Amino acid sequence: MLVLAVGLSLAVGTRPVPLAEVVHALTRPDPSSIAEAAVRSRIPTTIAGLLVGAALGMGGALMQGMARNPLADPGLLGVNSGASLFVVLGMAFFGLSAPLQFVWLALAGAAIAMLLGYGAATASPSGATPITLALAGASVTAIASSIISGILIVNTTTLNSFRYWQLGSLTAASPAALVQLSGFLAVGAVIALVAMPWLNALALGDDAARSLGVRVGMTRALSTLATVLLCGTAAALVGPIAFVGLAVPHAVRVLAGTDYRWIVPLSALGGAAFLLVCDVVGRLLTRPSTLEVGIVTAVAGAPVFIALLRWRRTVGV
Amino acid sequence: MTAVREALGADLRTVRVRRRRRDAVVLSVLALAVGCLGALALMFGARFTPPADVLDVLLGRPVPGASFAVGELRLPRTIGAILAGAAFGLGGTIFQTVLRNVLASPDVIGINSGASAAAIIALGVFGASGPVVAGSAIAGALLTAALVWFLAYQGGLSGIRFALVGIAVGAALQAIIGFVLTRSNVTQAQQAVVWMTGSLSRSLWDQLQPLAPVLAVLLLVALIAGRDLPVLRLGDDVAASLGVRVRRLKLVLILCAVVLVATATAVTGPIAFVAFLSGPIAMRITRHGQAVPAVAALIGAVIVLGADLIGQQLLSTAMPVGVVTGVLGAPYLLWLLMTGRTRA
């Protein structure tokens, strides 16, 4: 399914290219062909879709596991709003406009927002429970979005650039940024794979996990670190994309059950496929222009997610 | 034996009397706070108006230099702040109590997004203004609430499912808002951002006249229906065994809350955190459930009035009330969380 999504992502666009030619372009490049040039121009977008989708899916799965909360979503913990806030501050006060500069700002913002939310939840007497995490995340999000609207109201120039950034688009990821940041994604993925067996124990409750010899605090800290790296980088590369992290792990759970050793890697694959398909749909819907993938994921993802909620009770609600 | 029972009865009675006294004190202090903040809001504006002049304007006597500023600008703004604040506070508490989940407040479950999306489509796509925008906001909020209810209802209403469906619907609506923002011109986009932030600058007589009576009546109805709200906190079965018609009460309350929040949003736009925080604050102040609905309504009014005063008077650049409530409300919630004073 993922392979098919990659193929589609390379083939579909303002100028459609048959799949056979796509394969040809990849295996025996012919510099003079316009079709192949179109395919080549779609390669960075497709790679961005793969990496970001996988990162968001994995990050979402980790969050839901560590917070034991089907509501947990990296966006709910303030990752996207932190990234957005720093980008807006950079635009408004330092006059930044180059995407490569945004990348680092967004990454820093995402990390700070998430650590703040996570720290506040951990500092509360009841510790980082599902409820404290959700409330802390909501507060951080609210602070960030209030400051953002305060700035946007008085600063039209910033509003003008920010409104495009905040949609979330795969074409926003430049090849240079992809190369620079793929290291973060790799480290995040490795940490996620290390931490995922412990999430199974965590699902039984903190006390049960402790009695099984799992270090609960350590697991939560590692999962948070991995989520910051994965989702912060994703937001930095393509802007805030809602919903992939929330919906994909739920969909995966329907297929793969409750074992996090399956859920985390499958969420990565599922996230990548979902994001690419959404991107292709966005290109098809409004040809010859394109619809930003962030819009498609939310508008298409919401009904799927609600249907899952109604259809299956295994998601725990 | 009888002596023990009598002693227990006496204890219960003193507890009840003490609680009732505490409720009365809390309610009157809050009402006083609303009055004082309202008076301040009438006196301060671009220029200071002495209390005597304000009183004259309120009594309908023409005062040169103050009649317009106080009577036409500050008075509707203040009334709008009080009504909208009370509506958000009460509406939020009703949602949180009926669905028994703090996260199920109208700002989290997409009702605000629905109002915003409809208003912004009216502003950005159709270039509408004034009453049309307000009307579409109400329609948007009601439609969203109906949609979330319909999608989440499955042989009963679970708070967490309601919240999840609401968040999903809200996310889709946010994406639509983002889309409209990029496809309209910058001026319209800026208007839209101001609208979404929640501000009292549109709270003028022509906007208020149709909506204020609706809000006032709804507040009354919700307060009366909300008398049994504390009983619902005990759970459906206990409430039913205490003689409450649970299903009907829930339906009436939620309907009231939705229309309250929708109408208030039409006046001010969504104001961050008022609906979300008023209930938990009311719980903390009263320490028990009985007076929570009325207290939450007053707290909502105090928050909006106070935040607007801060935004207009204390900041170097005037900021809409929604920015202030967000920036102040969120750290407060974090503090509550870290000191362990939220009983979620």
> How near does any CA of chain A get to the CA of B6, in Å?
40
Chain A environment of B175 (Cβ under 8 Å): 242, 294-295, 297-299
Domains of chain A, CATH where assigned:
2-6+53-311 (1.10.3470.10)
Nearest beta carbon to residue A298 from set B164, B171, B190: B171
CA nearest A292 in B: which residue? Answer: B179
> How near does any CA of chain B get to the CA of A120, in Å?
6
Chain A environment of B178 (Cβ under 8 Å): 163, 166-167, 294-295
DSSP string, B287-307: SSSTTHHHHHHHHHHHHHHHH
> How near does any CA of chain B get to the CA of A20, in Å?
34
Longest dimension (CA), chain A: 66
CA distance B219 to A62: 43
> How near does any CA of chain B get to the CA of A28, in Å?
39
Nearest beta carbon to residue B169 from set A125, A126, A302: A302
3-state secondary structure of B334: helix
**Contacting B residues, span 207-266, partner chain A, CB-CB under 8 Å:** none
Question: Phi and psi at residue B318, in whole multiples of 5°?
Answer: -60, 130
Rounded to an integer, what is the distance from CA B202 to the centroid of its chain?
Answer: 17
Question: In this structure, what token pair is assigned to residue B97?
Answer: 């109590």
Nearest beta carbon to residue B331 from set A134, A143, A159: A143
> How near does any CA of chain A get to the CA of B232, in Å?
21
Mean pLDDT of chain B: 81
- Residue A233, pLDDT > 60, answer yes
- Tell whether omega for the bond before A29 is within 30 degrees of 0, i.e. cis: no
Nearest beta carbon to residue A124 from set B168, B181, B338: B338
Q: Is B329 on the interface with A (CB under 8 A)?
A: yes
> How near does any CA of chain A get to the CA of B21, in Å?
32
Q: Is A71 on the interface with B (CB under 8 A)?
A: yes
Please count the other Cβ atoms lying within 10 Å of the Cβ belonging to residue B37.
22
CA distance B49 to A121: 46
Q: Is A126 on the interface with B (CB under 8 A)?
A: yes
- Residue B45, pLDDT > 80, answer no
**Contacting A residues, span 177-236, partner chain B, CB-CB under 8 Å:** none
Look at A135 and B344 and tell me if their CB atoms are within 8 Å.
yes
CA distance A84 to A89: 9
Report DSSP state, residue B166.
H
> How near does any CA of chain B get to the CA of A214, in Å?
25
Nearest beta carbon to residue B193 from set A136, A152, A305: A152
Burial classification of residue A47, based on how many CB atoms lie within 10 Å of its CB (0-12 exposed, 13-18 middle, 19 or more buried): middle
CA nearest B186 in A: which residue? Answer: A160
CA distance B305 to B40: 9
What tens digit of pLDDT does each residue of B311-320 get?
888 877 778 8
CA distance A250 to B5: 55
In terms of pLDDT, which residue wins out, A133 or A59?
A: A59
Contact assessment for residue A42 and residue A209, using Cβ atoms and an 8 Å cutoff: no
> How near does any CA of chain A get to the CA of B185, in Å?
9
Look at A242 and B174 and tell me if their CB atoms are within 8 Å.
yes
Q: Which residue matches tokens 């986009």?
A: B189
**Contacting B residues, span 39-98, partner chain A, CB-CB under 8 Å:** none
Q: What is the mean pLDDT of residues B55-80?
A: 80
Look at B334 and A70 and tell me if their CB atoms are within 8 Å.
no
Nearest beta carbon to residue B172 from set A153, A246, A299: A299
Rounded to an integer, what is the distance from CA A228 to the centroid of its chain?
Answer: 10
What is the model's pLDDT at position B334? 81
**At what angle are helices A156-165 and A79-94 packed, to 10 degrees?**
140
What tens digit of pLDDT does each residue of B322-338 get?
888 888 888 887 887 77
Question: Phi and psi at residue A65, in whole multiples of 5°?
Answer: -70, -45
CA nearest B335 in A: which residue? Answer: A120
Look at A309 and B102 and tell me if their CB atoms are within 8 Å.
no
Nearest beta carbon to residue A143 from set B171, B330, B337: B330
What tens digit of pLDDT does each residue of A73-132 get?
777 677 888 888 888 888 888 777 666 777 788 888 888 888 888 888 877 777 766 667
Q: Is B109 on the interface with A (CB under 8 A)?
A: no
CA nearest A117 in B: which residue? Answer: B334
- Residue A314, pLDDT > 50, answer no
Contacts of A307 (CB under 8 A, 6+ apart): none
Q: Is B162 on the interface with A (CB under 8 A)?
A: no
What is the model's pLDDT at position A316? 45
Question: In this structure, what token pair is assigned to residue A182?
Answer: 């793929």
Please count the other Cβ atoms lying within 10 Å of the Cβ belonging to residue A89.
17
Nearest beta carbon to residue A149 from set B168, B193, B337: B193
Q: Is B120 on the interface with A (CB under 8 A)?
A: no
CA geometry: angle A231, A233, A239, nearest 5 deg? 85
In terms of pLDDT, which residue wins out, B304 or A33?
A: B304
Contact assessment for residue B141 and residue B163, using Cβ atoms and an 8 Å cutoff: no
CA nearest A290 in B: which residue? Answer: B179
What tens digit of pLDDT does each residue of A3-47 get?
666 666 665 555 555 666 666 666 666 666 666 666 666 777 788
Question: Phi and psi at residue A271, in whole multiples of 5°?
Answer: -60, -45
What is the model's pLDDT at position A231? 86
Contact assessment for residue B118 and residue B135, using Cβ atoms and an 8 Å cutoff: no
Question: In this structure, what token pair is assigned to residue A154?
Answer: 């008085």
Look at A143 and B102 and tell me if their CB atoms are within 8 Å.
no
Q: Is B158 on the interface with A (CB under 8 A)?
A: yes
In terms of pLDDT, which residue wins out, B243 or B137?
A: B137
Question: Phi and psi at residue B156, in whole multiples of 5°?
Answer: 135, 170
What tens digit of pLDDT does each residue of B155-166 get?
666 667 777 788
What tens digit of pLDDT does each residue of B189-241 get?
887 888 888 888 877 787 777 788 888 888 888 888 877 777 777 777 787 78
CA distance B140 to B145: 9
What tens digit of pLDDT does each residue of B247-298 get?
888 888 888 888 889 888 888 888 878 888 888 888 888 876 666 788 889 9
What is the model's pLDDT at position B344? 42
> How near does any CA of chain B get to the CA of A147, in Å?
7
Look at B165 and A156 and tell me if their CB atoms are within 8 Å.
no
Compute CA distances A266 → A2, A248, A253, A255, A256, whole Å.
Answer: 11, 9, 9, 10, 8
Helical segments of chain B, H only:
2-43, 51-58, 75-98, 111-124, 130-152, 159-183, 186-197, 205-225, 229-232, 236-241, 246-268, 274-286, 292-309, 321-338
**Contacting A residues, span 157-186, partner chain B, CB-CB under 8 Å:** 159-160, 163-164, 166-167
Q: What is the 3-state secondary structure (H, E, C) of chain A?
A: CHHHHHHHHHHCCCCCCCHHHHHHHHHCCCCCCHHHHHHHHHHHHHHHHHHHHHHHHHHHHHHHHHHCCCCCCCCCCCHHHHHHHHHHHHHHHHCCCCHHHHHHHHHHHHHHHHHHHHHHHHHCCCCCCHHHHHHHHHHHHHHHHHHHHHHHHHCHHHHHHHHHHCCCCHHHCCHHHHHHHHHHHHHHHHHHHHHHHHHHHHCCCHHHHHHCCCCHHHHHHHHHHHHHHHHHHHHHHHCCCCCHHHHHHHHHHHHHCCCHHHHHHHHHHHHHHHHHHHHHHHHHHCCCCCCCHHHHHHHHHHHHHHHHHHHCCCCCC
- Please give the single-letter amino acid code of residue B208: L
Domains of chain B, CATH where assigned:
19-338 (1.10.3470.10)
Nearest beta carbon to residue A139 from set B168, B169, B333: B333
Mean pLDDT of chain A: 77
Contacts of A201 (CB under 8 A, 6+ apart): A208, A209, A212, A214
Q: Is A115 on the interface with B (CB under 8 A)?
A: no
- Residue B79, pLDDT > 80, answer yes
What is the model's pLDDT at position A68? 72
> How near does any CA of chain A get to the CA of B171, in Å?
6
